[in-house]
Structure 1
Amino acid sequence: MNIRCFPYKTLNMKKIRKKYQWIDIGEDARRQYIDAQATFTAWEDARKAASEVRGGMYWKRQGETEYLIRTSPGNAQKSIGPRSEKTEQIYRNFTARKAEAEQRLADLTSALERQQRMNRALFVGRAPRILIDILNKLVKVGLSEYFTVIGTHSLYAYEAAAGVGFGEAAALATQDIDLLLDTRKRLSFITQMTTMGTSMLKLIQKVDPTFRIRDDQKYTAVNSKGFEVDIIRREPKDGDPHPLRLTDEDDEFYAVPARNAGLLLDGPRFSAMIIATTGHMARMNTISPAAFVRFKRWMAEQPDRDPMKRQRDILQANMVEELIVEYLPHLQQ
């Protein structure tokens, strides 16, 4: 197989004989996941609505005239216009919409906390808490659209959607999360990071202040417990800068080019709510299960692949393929 590409055709997933053991989470846990997912989805919508009315409006007198001023969360100010019937209506609509959005978000946040406790009580979640916290941090600061989770942690999204758990502990054994940066959006990413006045490392350190960039691997940050965050990118093309440093901050990630990462970037996506062992929830945006299978098989065929990693590639590919056939047949394409 050409080392620079792998086929994106439909997998040949005919009915296969079951080979792996799956963890049955039970009917109570499955019902709880469905209830928690409904609340979580409503909370996501409420959070988006509340974000659209962040900041405020007030009347400011200049000379003999009052002007309606719109303020941003960063306290930037913009004049809407002089006081009139039109601007008064704008003010009333905004304040009513803001109050309603904030109240709905507060109510759903309380409901989400109740679902979190139920998740924990019924042992619904399996993902590590730090994974949940990192994903939620990216959403909170508006960066989730620039990153796709790839690699072993994607399995938590697949098993959550299937309503079962992977029975092979070796398949989920990892101490790092791979975040694929969408370099096609690098200009807007840089603009947003500049506006926030921070670095990617500092954002990750808000999740765990012990994260540090590795001296020998500038695309990796590791915390005091050995958990790593890797920033991956596609191979340079279409004017991509190389090397690619995420911001101009002194201590910052460099995104490392990965073979065939561009195909994952352009390929089909998959999204699911995942739950930590603590009951906390987050949305994971990753690649489709079928793309995961193809990519892992391709990786296992590379002559320079570490033998132990090759064995895990094959195990993961086989398990996800069986998961699709048995539990997610609509995702075979």
Structure 2
Amino acid sequence: MPVDNIEINELNRDQLRERVNTAQRYQAWRDARERLSGFRGSLVWHRSGDGDYLLRSYYDSAGIRRQKTEGIRAPETERLKAQWDAQRDEATAREKALREVLARQASVNRALQLGRVPLLGARIIRAIDAAGLLGRGLRIVGTNAIYAYEAAAGVTVDASITTTEDMDLLMDARRSLRLAAAADIKDGTLISLLRKIDRSFERTRQNFRAANRDGYLVDLIPPAVDPPWRRGDVRIGASEEELTAIPIDGLAWLESAPAFEAVAIDEKGAPVRIVATDPRVFAAHKLWLSRQPGRDPLKRRRDEAQAKAVGRIVTRELAHLPYEADDLRMLPRAVFEAARPLFDATDAGLL
């Protein structure tokens, strides 16, 4: 792979306009969905003894259905129910309308060829987001993170360095992770979450990895610790089939780096929120990987190409992220200095 000739193409005006529209409309829909979620459960009249009582059903943080009475039927409780019903109807209508807007937007995005994120990968990321884990203990790392950097910068990079049939999930083992109750996932496990998307996903002999029938891989990885015995099994759910994260050197830099969030677009034109790691740290880590003698030569060349491409994206399009030591203290000095040329303005065509 000719790492010095990776193409980075800017979106045209029409594409940029619709990328902005997509992100704005997607955020409006997410806000509407969040408001609607506040009306999970019910508020109904219930006959008990000698009167009707207003009974509220709701779900607690553990997903357990609870009930409580708001009082006997009276003008005050009548008003409470009428207000609740009206607000729920309004929230339902708004969420539906914005969902329809996004469906129309997806058609526009397909016509403009804005779709980038592979469909299965996008579905997995959305499921992790809906489960309350994206950006709250899990980040997207590896090749799929590049789609976030592209989206934020308004560019696309050569497909030769973004095509992938796997996904790496960086698990922040400093946090206690649990799937949100709303995800309704059996046993609260990541493997069960994946099976809701594709029933063929199975944990492989490598316990940190799941694979489907087409060979798409999902890896759960945390940073390595020193000494290794300080970290026991790292997992999300308690099922015997759950993925058990495997520690990998160098990921502590990605874990400690600032999060980077952007709304990308999948192959069908639908938006997908990606929470990755800071692109400067991504590029430095990829360059470091490319120079590890034990790494597969083909992967080393791809690592170097990705490092150079992301470095150019940051330097050319993300000027608010300068390559400065004070911002990137999680990187070892040697790694920081080795990656400095990736962010050279002259090489990026700016000077």
Q: TM-score range by the shorter chain?
A: 0.7 to 0.9
Could you say what secondary structure the match of 2:320 adopts?
A: helix
Q: Percent identity?
A: 31
Residue of structure 2 in register with 1:173 after alignment? 163
- Match for residue 133 of structure 2 among 101, 120, 143: 143
Q: CA deviation at 1:19?
A: 5.9
1:329 aligns to what SS in structure 2? Answer: coil
Cα displacement (A) at 1:136: 1.4
Q: What does 1:7-46 align with in structure 2 at a 5 Å threshold?
A: 20-46=6-32
1:266 equivalenced with 2:272 (yes/no): no
Mean CA deviation greater in 263-272 or 84-93: 84-93
Aligned Cα RMSD in Å?
A: 2.7
Q: Say if 1:242 and 1:220 are closer, same or farther in 2 by CA, change over 3 A.
A: same
Counterpart CA distance in 2 for 1:299 and 1:222 is 24
Unmatched tracts of structure 1, length 5 or more: 1-17
Is 1:256 the counterpart of 2:243? The answer is no
Of 93, 96, 111 in structure 2, the residue corresponding to residue 121 of structure 1 is: 111
C-alpha distance in 1, partners of 2:271/2:304? 29
Q: What residue in structure 2 maps to residue 200 of structure 1? A: 190
What corresponds to 1:68 in structure 2? 54
Q: Is residue 70 of structure 2 the alignment partner of residue 81 of structure 1?
A: yes
Letter in 2 for 1:221: A
Matches of 2:197 and 2:7, distance apart in 1 = 34
Match of 2:224 among 220, 227, 235: 235
Find the residue that maps to 1:109 and give its secondary structure. helix
Question: What is the Cα deviation at residue 191 of structure 1?
Answer: 7.9
CA contact (8 A) 1:208 1:223 kept: yes
Cα offsets for 1:190-223 (capped at 9, x unmatched) = 68599743331121112112212112x1111111
Whole-Å separation in 2 of the counterparts to 1:95 and 1:240: 53
Query: Which of 220, 224, 230 is the aligned partner of 2:209?
Result: 220
Tell me the CA shift for residue 240 of structure 1: 7.3
Is the contact made by 1:65 and 1:82 (CA closer than 8 Å) also made in structure 2? Answer: no
Aligned to 2:39: 53
Whole-angstrom distance in 2 between the partners of 1:93 and 1:118: 38
Separation in structure 2 between the aligned mates of residue 245 and residue 146 of structure 1, nearest angstrom = 11
In 1, Cα distance between equivalents of 2:183 and 2:121: 25
How many residues get paired? 313
Deviates more, 1:55-64 or 1:137-146: 137-146
* Greater relative CO, 1 or 2 (CA 8 Å, sep 6+): 1
Q: How does 1:96-135 map to 2 (within 5 A)?
A: 96-135=86-125
1:287 aligns with 2:273: no
TM-score (norm 1): 0.85
2:299 to 309, 315, 324: 309
Unmatched runs of 5 consecutive residues or more in structure 2: 324-351
The whole-number CA distance in structure 2 between the counterparts of 1:184 and 1:154 is 21
TM-score, normalising length: structure 2: 0.81
- More displaced stretch, 38-47 vs 306-315: 306-315
1:159 corresponds in structure 2 to 150
Task: Give the deviation of 1:65 after TM superposition.
Answer: 4.4
Residue 15 (structure 1) aligns with: none
Cα distance change, pair 244–175 in 1 and its aligned pair in 2 (3 A): same
The question of 1:322 aligning with 2:312 is answered: yes
Structure 1 residues 195, 36: CA separation in 2 closer, same or farther (over 3 Å shift)?
closer
Cα separation, 1, equivalents of 2:126 and 2:184 = 20
Q: What do residues 219-255 of structure 1 show as CA deviations (whole Å, max 9, x unaligned)?
A: 1111122211111123358997612243232322111
